[in-house]
Amino acid sequence: MAGFLLRRLVNYAVLIAVATSLAYILAALALDPRSNYEGRSPRPPAAVIDAQLSLYNLNDHTPLIQRYLRWAGDVARGDLGRTWNGDRVDAELRRRLGVTARLILLGLVIGGVAGVLIGALAAVRQYGWFDRLSTVTAFLVLAIPTVVLANMLIIAAVWLNDHLGVQVFLVSGEETPGLEGGVGADVLDRVKHLALPTLSLAVGQIAVYSRYQRNMMLDVMDADFVRTAMAKGLRRRTALVKHALRTALIPAVTYFAFTFGSLLVGATITESVFGWHGMGEELVASIRSNDVNMVAAISCFAALAVLTASLASDVLQAVLDPRVRVG
Amino acid sequence: MTTGTATGTATGTAPVLEVRDLEVRFGDVPVVRGVGYTVEPGEVLGVVGESGAGKSVASLAVMGLLPRHAKVSGSVLLHGRELLGAPEKELAAVRGDTMSMIFQDPLSALTPVYRVGDQLAEAVRVHQRVSRERAAERAVELLDLVGIPNPRQRARAFPHEFSGGMRQRAMIAMAIANDPDVIICDEPTTALDVTIQAQVLEVLKSARRETGAAIVLITHDLGVVAGIADRVLVMYAGRGVEAGTVRDVYHRSRMPYTIGLLGSVPRLDAGRDVPLVPIDGSPPSAAALPPGCPFEPRCPMAIPACARAEPPLAEVAPGHSAACVRSGEIGEPRPVPPEDVPTAAAGAYPGVPPPRPREGRAVVLEVDGLVKHHPLTKGAVFRRRVGTVHAVDGVSFDIREGETLGLVGESGCGKTTALMEILELARPERGRVVVFGRDTAALTPHDRLAVRRHLQVVFQDPLASLDPRMTVHDIVGEPLVTHGYTDTGPRVRRLLRLVGLEPAHAARYPQDFSGGQRQRIAVARALALEPKLIVLDEPVSALDVSIQAGVINLLAGLADRLGLSYLFVAHDLAVVRHIAHRVAVMYLGRIAEIGGADQVYGAPMHPYTQALLSAVPIPDPDKERRRRRILLDGDLPSPADPPSGCRFRTRCPKFKVLTDAQRVRCVEEEPAVRPLEGDHGASCHYAEKLGVV
C-alpha cells in the first residue's frame, strides 16, 4: 500500500507541475498587467511601469521563458510571487481558501449524508411514493442552474425575514462587519450568514448523491449476500443497512472526496451570489485584473486540490473495499 | 445415516419441516404450483428437476426470502408452526437458527467487504447471546469443523481470498453455526469442480452428522442425489411429479419424465456404445403451460387423456407417489428400465461399419509439446514481468481420422487455452501444431484460410456465438459465402435437416429457438464446409440434461456418419464418456493421462484420473453408495507457481503413501507421459491401475 501511494504521489507531483506550468504560460501570454498601469491617470512613465512590472516578474518585455524560469524557481522555494499591485499571492490565497473551506464544508457534508440516506431509502422502496418524489425533486434541482437556485433561496429567505419581522437569514457576506456582543453573537451571526449558501450547495449535492446512491443501492439490494444475511436471521432492515448499504457506500464515499477537491475552486457562483470572497471568486477577479501570478497560483492550487482529493478517494476506496487492497 | 431409509410420514416420527400446496406467483406467472413434501429429522430429501422447474423458488419461499412482489400461498410448517405469513420478527428468529440455507454461488453469497470470520460470528451472535470474543472463537471452530486449514488465520481473510470450494465450506459453516434442524441447500455444488464437489458433499455429510439436521438438497444433478439423498422429489413445471425413496424413484420410476431424465443423463459407467435417450422438445415456459399434464407434449407415452387434465401427485405404492395417469401401467407388469421407453431418438446411431484400426488412419491433428505462458505484469507506466502463468506447459496428443478425443480437466487446467492455441493456426510459443499434415508455423495467410475450411469450431454458449441479427439461413450459410459458394439455399436446407432442425425455420432468428436448437444451429454452421475436424469447447455444458442428451447423440451420430474427427473439450467426464474414443486428462497445463476411453475410464493409472473419476457421481443409488471415493486435499495450486517435479504431488493420494526415498523422484523429476499399455499413457512415476467407476 505504501509503495502504491508513493508511486501515486510521484505521478501526481509531475501532473501538478505540468498543469501549473501550462496555466502560467497561458496566463502570461493572454493577460496584460501592463494595461492596469497604463490605464491609471495620470499615466505613469513607461520606465516606472517597466520597473514595477519587472519587480513583480510581470514585464511582458522580458522573454516568456525567463519569466517562467524565475516564477518556477520562486514557486519551488514556496514563494507564489506578487499580485499585479504588489500584494503577496500566498497570503491572499490563504485568506481566500479559509473562506471557501468554511463555505463548502458544511454544505458538502450535509449534502453527501442526506443524499446517501435519501438515495438508499428511495432504493429500498423502489417505485414507492418516496422514490418517485425524490426522483422528481432531484431532477428538478439538477435542471435548475445554481445561480437561479441560489437567488430563489435568497428571495424566499427575504420573504421569510419580512414575514417574521426578524432577520433569520442573512443573505450576503460571511459576517456582519463591526458586530459587537462577544463570541456567542458572533457565532450566531456567522451561522445566519452560512445557512443559505450551505443550503444552496447541499441541495445540489443531495440531488446528485441521491441519484447515485439509489442506483448503487439497487445494484446490491438483490445481491446474493444480502439474501445470505437474511438467511442467517438478520432482519431485512439490518441486512440492508449492514450488508447492502455498507457495500453500496464505497463509490459514494470516494466520490465525496473528489467533489470536495473540485469544489474548493469550483464554488464560484455560490460565492458570488452570496458575496463570499472565496477562491472561485478570486479566480474570476484575477483574470479580470490581468493578475498572471494569481491565476497561476490558483490553477496550481486547483490541481493540487483535485489530485489530493483523488488520492484521498483512492485511500478511502482501499480502506473500505478489501477487494482492491492488493500489494 | 441412521434413518437411511425413512419413508415419509410412514415411520411415524414427527416431520421437522412440512410443506403443503406451496404456490408462488410472480405477477400472473405461476412458478411453483402446489409443491408439498415432508422432511424428518436427520433425513436427506433430494429435490431434482431441470432449470425452470421452480425448485429454487420453492425453497426460497420456504425460507421466506422471496422478493416482496412474489405471491406465496400454501403452508410451510416448521416443527408444526406455520411460517407463511408469520411476521418478519418471527421468521428472522427461525432463519439461520432452526432452519438455515446454503446457496449456489458462494462468491456472491458472502458479503465482499467483511472478513469471513466476522460474517460467521455475526450468524452466531444473531441467535446466541454470546460475547464478541466467544463468537469469533466459535467462528474459528466452525471453520475448522468444515475442514478449512489454518482456521484462525483464514477467519481473518476476505471472501475473495477464498477459493470456490473454501467459500462453500464457509457457507456450510455459517449454516450449521446455530445447530439447525433443517438445512436447505440450493444447488450447493453446481458452481464447483467435481473433485471440490466431492469434498463439499463430504463436508455436508459430516455437517449433518454433527447437527443431526434434516437436509433438503436442491439440485439438477441426479448423481449427487443418488449418493446422498434418502428420499427424492422430482419437479417439473413448478410441481412435484414423482416422490419416493431414492431407490423407488431411480429403479422403479413411475413417471415418464423421471424415466426420461434418468435415461438422458450421461453416465460414467456406460460407454460410447450405449446411446443416451433424450426427451423430445423442451420444458414449457411457466407463463404458457399446456392444458393437461405439462409433460404431455414431450411424453413418449402420452394418450389423449393426458391432454385433458393435469394428474395429481398420487400414491402409487407405499411411500411412492407419481403424477401420471399411466403410472399404474408403468408400474404393473414389470418396472420399465429406461432403455425400453420408446422414443423417437432410440437407436441414435445407425449401423456404421467398424472403423479401421487406429494405426492405419491418417492423423488430422498433431500437437507436440505445446506451450502457452501468460506473462504476469505489474505497474501502469513501467510494466514489468513479475511472473508467468503456465497455462499450457508442454501438451502432446494426436487425433486420427474419424476419432473423437475428449480433453477433460477441471477449471484452470488449461484445456481451453490449448484449444485456442490450436485454433490460432499460428506458430505456438513453443512446440508444434500440425493440422492435416501441415505445420501451423509455416502457414501463409492463404494456406490458413484453406486449413480453416476443414477445421471448424463450436463454442459453449450457443446464444453468444450466434449473431442475433442474422437469420439462421445467413448464419449457417456464412461460411459457405466466405469460401466463395454462391447458391447456398439447398445446402443450408440440407444442413438444417442433418442436425434435426426444420429447414422451413431458416428464416427465423436465433432468439426464436431453444438452447438445444441453438446449439444445433451452431453445429450446422460448423458442418457447412464439410470439415474433417471440429473443435468443440464445452458444447453441451450450458444445456439441461434432457436437451444435452439430444445434442450429444447428434454429435456422436454425425461423427460416425460423416467420418468426422472431434477435439471435444469438456469438464464433465460423463459427457466425454459418451462421445470420446480417446481421452486426455489435463492437470495444471499438462496431460496427466491419455488413452482409449475404455482404458482410461475402466482402469485409470494416474492418481489424478482416479480421483477425478471417483468424484463423478453415478445416477444409481445402489452403485453410487458402493463406490469408494478418493478425496483430494485442498485446491488446485496456482498455475503461476506450479509445484516442482510432479505438479500433482501436493494433492496426490499416492504421494502420501510413498516412502521418502520414492517421494524424492516426485519432487525432483517432472514425469513425462510414458506409454504403459499400447497407446495408454500416464505421467506418473508410480502409475498403477485402479478401478474407480
- Nearest-angstrom CA–CA distance, B196 and A305: 51
- Nearest-angstrom CA–CA distance, B677 and B680: 5
C-alpha atoms less than 13 angstroms from C-alpha of A149 in its C-beta half-sphere:
22
User: What mean pLDDT do residues A59-84 have?
Assistant: 87
Whether residue A322 and residue B96 make contact (CB cut-off 8 A), yes or no, is: no
Count CB neighbours of A1 within 10 A. Answer: 11
Confidence of residue B476 (pLDDT cuts 50, 70, 90): very high
Of B334 and B535, more confident: B535
Best of B113, B129, B160, B181 to disrupt the A interface (most A CBs within 10 Å) is B113
Q: Who's near B674: CB < 8 A, 6+ residues apart?
A: B681, B682, B683
Of B377 and B553, more confident: B553
Best of B63, B89, B95, B111 to disrupt the A interface (most A CBs within 10 Å) is B111
Percent of chain B with pLDDT strictly greater than 90: 45
Nearest in space to B457 (alpha carbons), one of B423, B483, B417, B501:
B423
Instruction: Using the predicted structure, report yes or no on whether residue B3 has a pLDDT greater than 50.
Output: no
User: What mean pLDDT do residues A276-293 have?
Assistant: 88
User: What mean pLDDT do residues B403-430 have?
Assistant: 90
Of B293 and B676, more confident: B293
Q: What is the pLDDT of residues A217-276, one digit of tens each?
A: 998 888 889 999 999 999 999 999 999 999 998 888 888 888 888 887 778 888 888 888
Q: What residue type is B629 in one-letter code?
A: R
- Per CB-CB distance under 8 Å, the chain A contacts of B60 are 227
Instruction: Using the predicted structure, report yes or no on whether residue A39 has a pLDDT greater than 90.
Output: no
Strands B404-408 and B384-400, sheet pairing = unpaired
DSSP strand E in B58-160: where?
Answer: 70-78, 81-82, 99-102
Nearest Cα of chain B lies from the Cα of A233 at a distance, in angstroms, of 4
Nearest in space to A317 (alpha carbons), one of A104, A3, A6, A5:
A5
- Asked whether the beta carbons of B187 and B137 are under 8 A apart, the reply is no
Best of A124, A219, A228, A253 to disrupt the B interface (most B CBs within 10 Å) is A228
Q: Which residue of A has its CA nearest to B100?
A: A231
Percent of chain A with pLDDT strictly greater than 90: 28
Of B108, B127, B381, the CB nearest to A223: B108
- Per CB-CB distance under 8 Å, the chain A contacts of B158 are 322-323
SS3 call for A68: helix
Of A225, A233, A246, the CB nearest to B96: A233
Whether residue A222 and residue B89 make contact (CB cut-off 8 A), yes or no, is: no
Whether residue A233 and residue B111 make contact (CB cut-off 8 A), yes or no, is: no
Confidence of residue B382 (pLDDT cuts 50, 70, 90): low
Instruction: Using the predicted structure, report yes or no on whether residue A316 has a pLDDT greater than 60.
Output: yes
- Nearest-angstrom CA–CA distance, A92 and A39: 24
Best of A6, A15, A222, A225 to disrupt the B interface (most B CBs within 10 Å) is A225
Of A225, A235, A320, the CB nearest to B111: A225
- Asked whether the beta carbons of B293 and B324 are under 8 A apart, the reply is yes
Instruction: Using the predicted structure, report yes or no on whether residue A62 has a pLDDT greater than 60.
Output: yes
- Per CB-CB distance under 8 Å, the chain B contacts of A229 are 111, 122
Q: What is the pLDDT of residues B590-602, one digit of tens each?
A: 999 999 998 999 8
Of A231, A236, A327, the CB nearest to B101: A231
Instruction: Using the predicted structure, report yes or no on whether residue B487 has a pLDDT greater than 90.
Output: no
Of B92, B96, B111, the CB nearest to A243: B111
- Nearest-angstrom CA–CA distance, B599 and B678: 10
Grid coordinates 483523488 are at which residue? A310
- Among A130-134, A174-178, B163-167, which range has the highest average pLDDT? A130-134
**pLDDT the model gives residue A89:** 87
Which is it for the CA torsion B210, B211, B213, B216, positive or negative?
negative
Confidence of residue A143 (pLDDT cuts 50, 70, 90): very high
Whether residue B122 and residue A223 make contact (CB cut-off 8 A), yes or no, is: no
**pLDDT the model gives residue B354:** 55
The phi, psi pair for B509, rounded to 5°, reads -105, 160
DSSP per-residue string spanning A217-277: HHHHHTSHHHHHHHHTT--HHHHIIIIIIHHHHHHHHHHHHHHHHHHHHH-HHHHHHHT--
Each domain of chain B, given as residue ranges in start order, spans 17-229, 247-340, 605-693
Helix (H) or strand (E) segment spanning residue B228: helix B222-228
Instruction: Using the predicted structure, report yes or no on whether residue B357 has a pLDDT greater than 70.
Output: yes
Nearest Cα of chain B lies from the Cα of A293 at a distance, in angstroms, of 33
Q: What is the pLDDT of residues B43-102, one digit of tens each?
A: 999 999 888 888 999 999 999 998 888 999 999 999 999 999 899 999 999 999 999 999
- Nearest-angstrom CA–CA distance, A99 and A267: 11
Of A231, A243, A323, the CB nearest to B100: A231
Instruction: Specify whether domain A93-288 bears CATH 3.40.50.720.
Output: no
Q: Of A42-56, A130-144, A193-207, which gets the smallest average pLDDT?
A: A42-56
First to last CA, chain B: 23
Helix (H) or strand (E) segment spanning residue B217: strand B214-219
Instruction: Using the predicted structure, report yes or no on whether residue B244 has a pLDDT greater than 50.
Output: yes
Instruction: Using the predicted structure, report yes or no on whether residue A325 has a pLDDT greater than 70.
Output: no
Instruction: Using the predicted structure, report yes or no on whether residue A133 has a pLDDT greater than 60.
Output: yes
Question: Count of CB contacts below 8 A, A vs B?
Answer: 81
The phi, psi pair for A59, rounded to 5°, reads -75, 115
- Asked whether the beta carbons of B356 and B347 are under 8 A apart, the reply is no
Percent of chain B with pLDDT strictly greater than 70: 94
Q: Who's near A225: CB < 8 A, 6+ residues apart?
A: A243, A247, B108, B109, B110, B111, B112
- Per CB-CB distance under 8 Å, the chain A contacts of B105 are 224
Q: What is the pLDDT of residues B205-223, one digit of tens each?
A: 988 888 889 999 999 999 9
CA dihedral B260, B264, B267, B269 (to 10 degrees): 60
**pLDDT the model gives residue B9:** 44
User: What mean pLDDT do residues B633-639 have?
Assistant: 83
User: What mean pLDDT do residues B272-298 have?
Assistant: 85
Of B60, B110, B123, the CB nearest to A225: B110
Q: Of A50-59, A109-118, A199-208, B128-137, which gets the smallest average pLDDT?
A: A50-59
Q: What residue type is B226 in one-letter code?
A: A
- Nearest-angstrom CA–CA distance, B663 and B436: 41
- Nearest-angstrom CA–CA distance, B109 and B674: 44
Q: What is the pLDDT of residues A178-211, one digit of tens each?
A: 777 788 888 888 888 888 989 999 999 999 999 9
Of A11, A232, A320, the CB nearest to B174: A232
Of A11, A229, A250, the CB nearest to B111: A229
Confidence of residue B2 (pLDDT cuts 50, 70, 90): very low
DSSP strand E in B222-263: where?
Answer: 231-236, 239-245
User: What mean pLDDT do residues B1-29 have?
Assistant: 70
Whether residue B92 and residue A234 make contact (CB cut-off 8 A), yes or no, is: yes
Mean pLDDT of chain B: 87
**pLDDT the model gives residue B333:** 52
User: What mean pLDDT do residues A138-160 have?
Assistant: 91
Instruction: Using the predicted structure, report yes or no on whether residue B133 has a pLDDT greater than 90.
Output: yes
Judging by beta carbons within 10 Å of its beta carbon (0-12, 13-18, 19+), is residue A3 exposed, middle or buried?
exposed
Q: Which residue of A has its CA nearest to B162?
A: A323
Q: Which residue of A has its CA nearest to B67?
A: A222
Q: What is the pLDDT of residues B531-579, one digit of tens each?
A: 999 999 999 888 888 888 989 999 998 998 888 999 999 999 999 999 9
Q: What is the pLDDT of residues B384-397, one digit of tens each?
A: 777 888 889 889 99
Nearest Cα of chain B lies from the Cα of A248 at a distance, in angstroms, of 10
Instruction: Using the predicted structure, report yes or no on whether residue B1 has a pLDDT greater than 70.
Output: no
Each domain of chain A, given as residue ranges in start order, spans 2-76, 93-288
Whether omega before A42 lies within 30 degrees of 0, making that bond cis, reads yes
**pLDDT the model gives residue B403:** 92
Whether residue A232 and residue B126 make contact (CB cut-off 8 A), yes or no, is: yes
Nearest Cα of chain B lies from the Cα of A314 at a distance, in angstroms, of 15
Nearest Cα of chain A lies from the Cα of B186 at a distance, in angstroms, of 12
**pLDDT the model gives residue A126:** 87
Whether residue B111 and residue A247 make contact (CB cut-off 8 A), yes or no, is: yes
Helical ranges in B265-344 per DSSP H: 327-331
Instruction: Using the predicted structure, report yes or no on whether residue B12 has a pLDDT greater than 70.
Output: no
Whether residue B63 and residue A231 make contact (CB cut-off 8 A), yes or no, is: yes
Question: What residues of B are in the A interface, CB distance below 8 Å?
Answer: 60, 63, 65, 67, 88-89, 92-97, 100-101, 103, 105, 108-115, 122-123, 126-127, 158, 160, 171, 174, 177-178, 378, 381
Sheet with B70-78, strands from edge to edge, namely B29-39, B17-26, B70-78, B81-82
- Nearest-angstrom CA–CA distance, A85 and A56: 8
CATH number for the region B17-229 comes to 3.40.50.300
Confidence of residue B353 (pLDDT cuts 50, 70, 90): low
- Nearest-angstrom CA–CA distance, B418 and B584: 12
Mean pLDDT of chain A: 87
- Nearest-angstrom CA–CA distance, A58 and A83: 9
Strands B239-245 and B320-322, sheet pairing = antiparallel
Whether residue A230 and residue B95 make contact (CB cut-off 8 A), yes or no, is: yes
Q: What is the pLDDT of residues B335-348, one digit of tens each?
A: 444 444 444 343 44
- Asked whether the beta carbons of B216 and B45 are under 8 A apart, the reply is yes
**pLDDT the model gives residue B339:** 47
